[in-house]
Amino acid sequence: MDVLSDTLRVVRLSGAVFLRAKLAAPWAVESATPDELAEYLRLPSDCIAVFHIVTRGRCWLSLADLPPILLTSGDAMLIPQNAPHVLGSDRSTPPVPFRSVLPPLPAGGMVEIEGPGLGETAQFVCGYLHCDQRFNPLIGALPDLIVVRPGGDGHADHHHEAGASRGRARASSAVVQTQPGDWLETTLRHTVEEAYGERPGISDMLARLSEILFVEVVRRYMQQLPMTQQGWLAGVSDPIVGQALRLLHARPEHAWTVEDLAHAVVVSRSTLAQRFTTLIGETPMRYLAVWRIQLAKYLLKQTNLNLVEVSERVGYESVAAFNRAFKRHVGQPPATWRIATDAPQLAAVSNG
């Protein structure tokens, strides 16, 4: 079981490029809140990550408690939790709100804005990644900012704070570098070319490229995690916790106990429990309970399985027990939740 792939399947990652911007200094734009962005993009506000690619010129990025970062042409930035941030030509220009500079988003189209300034011009391509599950251990394990920069250009800031675990007190960032002609650099270039092109199928192509870029950036970030890092991604890479996660994801319906899981991983119960809780931030059984509910939501939304079949697939001995657990986590019984989540889709189909 590939835990990363399984998580991406269940949380249903989807992406898009929605904005081309050409701004002449002086300028500064403040990001939208998660709710504002969700309303603008006409998406559920469960989990939206944003990314910006600098295609020309340079700009400053200011985000939470991080020092301001200078970004130049070829750089890209991924903000997994859409933390409040400001992009600007300098650090002194007062920012204007996101919504004040963007026209309404056309259906299936792309917005283009051009600033009125007379100074140095910067150009961007901006997009988003959306997950339809609020509980997403992957997104929660990522730092507040990942900067993707061409390698060997002399301006990369390798600032990386090990603050991606739960309960972190301040923002964290990481740098992922590309190399000339490598897969990530090529995909970034193709994304920009598609964003400025007018070929048929551009929306679908940009959606797929956005999703591929996200997964590749996450994989590169995982490869450079320090041994002392905590969080879900560190757990996936850990020889003990990673094996336990693979077993839980491969057989969520199994009546696991910590003892059974430790025996399968060939470590003591105390070793597994301590290491799992240290890296993931919760006990193995708590993680399994929440993951079962996320898997149940996926099955309720994406399949025609009845409640008995869903409850069996996610490890509940009875529908009554499944109902109680689902309501405890989600706030309403699974049948009610299924109807409520189907209603907007049915309305969209009928209105279309």
Please name which of 244, 216, 222, 243 lies closest in space to residue 234, comparing C-alpha atoms: 222
Q: Are residues 79 and 109 in the same domain?
A: yes
Give a yes or no: residue 328 inside a domain.
Answer: yes
Give a yes or no: residue 232 inside a domain.
Answer: no
Which of 178, 194, 223 is at the close of a domain? Answer: 223
- The neighbouring-strand residues paired with 60 are 70, 88
pLDDT tens by residue, 78-97: 999 889 999 999 999 999 99
Q: How confident is the model at residue 304 (pLDDT cuts 50, 70, 90)?
A: very high
Q: How confident is the model at residue 323 (pLDDT cuts 50, 70, 90)?
A: very high
Looking at the predicted structure, is the pLDDT value of residue 16 above 60?
A: yes
Q: Are residues 79 and 188 in the same domain?
A: yes
Integer CA distances (angstroms), 70 to 76, 91, 129, 152, 156, in order = 11, 10, 24, 16, 9
Give a yes or no: residue 16 inside a domain.
Answer: yes
Q: Are residues 186 and 259 in the same domain?
A: no
CA distance 192 to 170: 32
Which of 178, 197, 223 is at the close of a domain? Answer: 223
Give a yes or no: residue 127 inside a domain.
Answer: yes
Give a yes or no: residue 229 inside a domain.
Answer: no
CA distance 350 to 344: 10
Average pLDDT over residues 287-302: 93
**How many residues are given for the chain?**
352
Q: Are residues 302 and 193 in the same domain?
A: no
Report phi then psi at 168, rounded to 5.
-65, 150
Rg (alpha carbons) of the chain, rounded to whole number? 22
Q: Are residues 246 and 289 in the same domain?
A: yes
Looking at the predicted structure, is the pLDDT value of residue 267 above 70?
A: yes
Q: Are residues 289 and 315 in the same domain?
A: yes
Average pLDDT over residues 315-322: 95
Q: Are residues 255 and 212 in the same domain?
A: no
pLDDT tens by residue, 133-169: 666 688 888 899 999 998 754 333 434 443 333 334 4
Give a yes or no: residue 96 inside a domain.
Answer: yes
The pTM of this model reads: 0.82
More confidently predicted of 171 and 162:
171
Q: Are residues 64 and 210 in the same domain?
A: yes
Per the structure, the count of domains in the chain is: 2
Structural domain span for residue 42: 3-223
Looking at the predicted structure, is the pLDDT value of residue 316 above 60?
A: yes
CA distance 117 to 115: 6
Looking at the predicted structure, is the pLDDT value of residue 112 above 70?
A: yes
Q: What's the pLDDT at 251?
A: 95
Please name which of 158, 147, 140 lies closest in space to residue 46, comparing C-alpha atoms: 140
Q: Are residues 243 and 216 in the same domain?
A: no
Is there a contact between 322 and 316 (Cβ–Cβ < 8 Å)?
yes
Which of 167, 197, 223 is at the close of a domain? Answer: 223
Q: What is the CATH number of the domain that holds 273?
A: 1.10.10.60
CA distance 262 to 308: 30
Whole-number mean pLDDT of the chain?
A: 87
